[in-house]
């Protein structure tokens, strides 16, 4: 079974954590379309992590960027957590 490198795995898990936090906030605000888009952008990550292939990172980045482009005003910028921002302890 292939898995992402440990640092990338940590980043992907943090992205999922933040997505769940955002999903809770979106549900409480009844922003259903954005909640749907968030789940579309992140739902493949667990499956990719358990059967990792080189092309999965590009797919994840594309999905997260699509979400970010549509909701540019959001304080949740998942793309930056893939490679640029440090991951805080969670």
Write the pLDDT tens digit of every residue in 37-84. Answer: 999 999 999 999 999 998 999 999 999 999 999 999 888 999 999 888
The model's pTM is: 0.91
Q: Where are the domains of the chain?
A: 6-83
CA nearest neighbour of 45 among 68, 77, 11: 11
């Amino acid at each position: 079974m292939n898995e992402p490198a440990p640092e990338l795995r940590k980043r992907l898990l943090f992205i999922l954590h933040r997505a769940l936090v955002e999903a809770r906030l979106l549900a409480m605000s009844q922003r259903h379309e954005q909640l749907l888009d968030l789940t579309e952008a992140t739902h493949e990550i667990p499956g990719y992590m358990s059967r990792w292939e080189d092309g999965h990172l590009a797919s994840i980045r594309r999905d997260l960027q699509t979400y970010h482009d549509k909701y540019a005003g959001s304080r949740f910028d998942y793309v930056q957590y893939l490679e640029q921002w440090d991951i805080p302890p969670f």
